Amino acid sequence: MRTVISTAFISLDGVVEAPGGEPGYRNSGWTFKDIDFVPEAFEIKGREQEESTAMLLGRTSYEAFSPVWPDMAEFAHYKTVPKYVVSTTLTDDQLVSNWGETTILRSLDEVAALKETAGGPIIVHGSATLNHALSDAGLIDRYHLLVFPLLLGAGKRLFSTTDKDTQKLKLVEHEAYSNGLQKQVFDVVR
């Protein structure tokens, strides 16, 4: 069984919306404002690329990343791994042609079937709505969080607000950095 890893830049109050400057959000670009850059805090992002064997995205994140990431040197590895986009509305003719193999999945059942295939970790970037659905369905195995020392208030959040039983997490890696960022890696306890 493959491991599904949700990775996120997240504010202390749980917001994940528009960390890189995506339009339409009041605090857009919050990861680059008023926070000193400390390279070692982002080591996990390079490790994620090296270790991931596939990428899973929701439609909105695919539409945000696909015009940009294929041509960015810092995301070169992601060009070589299969991408899976979970969407009921996206069509094959809407996929970009310069980002490698991309498959549209129509349901969480298809995601569950993907997890059952041979291969290594599947990384989920962005995709707040998809993260909620994956979490509620018990399909996330690990969280890689870079927690920013910010309170953003309104905005899309990483974690679902569904009324459900407690889900226990086990902290397996953590570190605090001089700029206030914290790396927190949690395994989902089953």
CA–CA separation, 151 vs 71, rounded Å? Answer: 32
Is residue 2 over pLDDT 90?
Answer: yes
Residue 149, CA distances (Å) to 35, 55, 89 in order: 9, 27, 36
Count of alpha carbons within 13 angstroms of residue 80, beta-carbon side: 10
What does the pLDDT look like over 54-110, one tens digit per residue? 999 999 999 999 999 999 999 999 999 999 999 999 999 999 999 999 999 999 999
CA angle at residue 104 from 119 to 70, to 5 degrees? 75
CA angle at residue 135 from 156 to 157, to 5 degrees? 10
Query: In the structure encoding, which two tokens stand for residue 17, read together?
Result: 């919306």
CA–CA separation, 87 vs 96, rounded Å? Answer: 15
- Report the range of poorest mean pLDDT among 34-38, 91-95, 118-122: 34-38
CA angle at residue 21 from 121 to 188, to 5 degrees? 30
What does the pLDDT look like over 145-159, one tens digit per residue? 999 999 999 999 999
Average pLDDT over residues 128-143: 97
Q: What does DSSP assign to residue 152? A: -
Tell me what percent of the residues of the chain surpass a pLDDT of 90.
96
CB atoms closer than 10 angstroms to residue 109: 10
Q: What is the dihedral sign for C-alpha 10, 154, 124, 62?
A: negative
Quote the pTM value: 0.96
CA–CA separation, 153 vs 159, rounded Å? Answer: 14
**pLDDT at site 72:** 94
In the structure, what pLDDT confidence band is assigned to residue 21 with cuts at 50, 70 and 90?
Answer: confident
**pLDDT at site 34:** 84
**pLDDT at site 176:** 98
The whole-chain average pLDDT of the chain stands at: 96
